[in-house]
Amino acid sequence: MIKVLNIVGARPNFMKIAPIYAEMKRRDSEFNPLIVHTGQHYDEKMSDAFFRDLGMPKPDVHLGIGSASHAVQTAKIMLEFEPVVLSEKPDWVLVVGDVNSTVACTIVCSKLGIKVAHVEAGLRSRDRTMPEEINRILTDSISDLLLTPSPDGNENLRREGIPDEKVELVGNVMIDSLFRNLENVQDNTVCEDLNLSDKDYAVLTLHRPSNVDEKETLGKMLDALISISEKLPIVFPGHPRTVGKIKEFGFSEKIIKSNIKLIDPLGYLSFLKLMSGAKLVLTDSGGLQEETTALGIPCLTLRENTERPITIELGTNILVGTNPEKIKQTAFEVLDDESFTENKKVPPLWDGKTAKRICDAILKR
């Protein structure tokens, strides 16, 4: 039996680990899975609620790291995680995504000679000013098994000199969670509670420091979004960081007077219900680019680059950058184009069976 420590730290990790952990538990003669929560996301609405929504048990280990600078947070995770590895003696440690917990736990395991599998390997934005890009590159360079969500990931790793025998295309495990939980949200009342009709609203998420930390940048972006909301109301579950900046910069009043409905963060199931009924999604998140592609919902990515180019090449995602005029123009064009989603495709292996392929890949090695 293979003992695996499954690492979660921030909210996007939970949707990736949940189906993998469930698959390992189903195969209990082959796997002994444990969940280690670093506590990188520590707010109850951002963390514990997602465990409940995804049907995950309480973590076997909780490191309780909390918020800090990138350096301090990464160092604290390493210091707290090393004794766990020495005590548990896992055969494999499985990390997902590109957060500080991912790279910190991978470094610890590399030093101790513990094998690491990286789920969502090979994604590249080509922008090294993004902390996540550094985390991706470092994690991939020292992991033992690189599990990619799309063919571009394999090609990126090949160009970086990673041996092919370390790499396996398994598909997108986020889509496993998406498909598995779509049927669980039919009775969710979030849209009724917000007086929303299906396909009669847009959803916005905004949290990246490059978008929200500078007053001028955030102000111009909000002005563009307010213009869009005059054509289609926008529901905005506010990330605590972003809400804090909106208050600090004095933008609260302009949002109150607009057709942007700023609400508290939502649990996974409520957000899934909200997002799946939207006519348009505007985001600077990575995962939403994938989920909207799988569901055929138009998505405008409010960034200058993306590590998920396949959602543009095949899917419903458009990279619009942060220029307010381009954001408005593209949004209006998409809303006026009833045929926009025609001929859009879901990438290969985004079929809800990725967790099975991940477990098979680990067993094979």
- CATH number for the domain spanning 263: value is 3.40.50.2000
Query: Does 13 share its domain with 161?
Result: yes
Query: Does 355 share its domain with 332?
Result: no
SS3 category, 93: strand
Can you tell me the distance from the alpha carbon of 142 to that of 139, in angstroms, rounded to the nearest whole number? 6
Query: Does 154 share its domain with 209?
Result: no
Structurally, the chain folds into a number of domains equal to: 2
Average pLDDT over residues 284-294: 96
Instruction: Give the per-residue SS3 of 34-46.
Output: EEEECCCCCCHHH
Contact 267, 56 (CB under 8 A): no
For 280, phi and psi rounded to 5 degrees? Answer: -155, 145
178 located within any domain: no
State the chain's mean pLDDT as an integer: 95
Query: Does 165 share its domain with 193?
Result: no
pLDDT range class, residue 49, cuts 50, 70, 90: confident
Residue 4 predicted with pLDDT over 70: yes
176 located within any domain: no
SS3 category, 24: helix
309 located within any domain: yes
Residue 64: give the domain boundaries.
2-171+350-364
pLDDT value of residue 89:
98
Query: Does 195 share its domain with 164?
Result: no
Residue 43 predicted with pLDDT over 90: no
Rg (CA), the chain: 20
Query: Does 152 share its domain with 284?
Result: no
108 located within any domain: yes
Spot the catalytic one: 41, 70, 207, 239.
207
Can you tell me the distance from the alpha carbon of 161 to that of 137, in angstroms, rounded to the nearest whole number? 12
293 located within any domain: yes
pLDDT range class, residue 11, cuts 50, 70, 90: confident
**Other CB atoms within 10 A of residue 126 CB:** 11
Contact 347, 173 (CB under 8 A): no
Average pLDDT over residues 194-200: 96
Can you tell me the distance from the alpha carbon of 124 to that of 176, in angstroms, rounded to the nearest whole number? 22
Give the Å distances, CA to CA, from 297 to 26, 158, 202, 225, 339.
32, 32, 10, 18, 12
Query: Does 7 share its domain with 156?
Result: yes
Query: Does 88 share its domain with 51?
Result: yes
207 is catalytic: yes
Query: Does 95 share its domain with 129?
Result: yes
Query: Does 156 share its domain with 269?
Result: no
pLDDT value of residue 47:
65
pLDDT digits (tens, 9 = 90+) for 216-255: 999 999 999 999 999 999 999 999 889 999 999 999 999 9
342 located within any domain: no
Contact 146, 168 (CB under 8 A): yes
Query: Does 242 share its domain with 156?
Result: no
Can you tell me the distance from the alpha carbon of 35 to that of 306, in angstroms, rounded to the nearest whole number? 29
Query: Does 139 share its domain with 203?
Result: no
Residue 52 predicted with pLDDT over 90: no
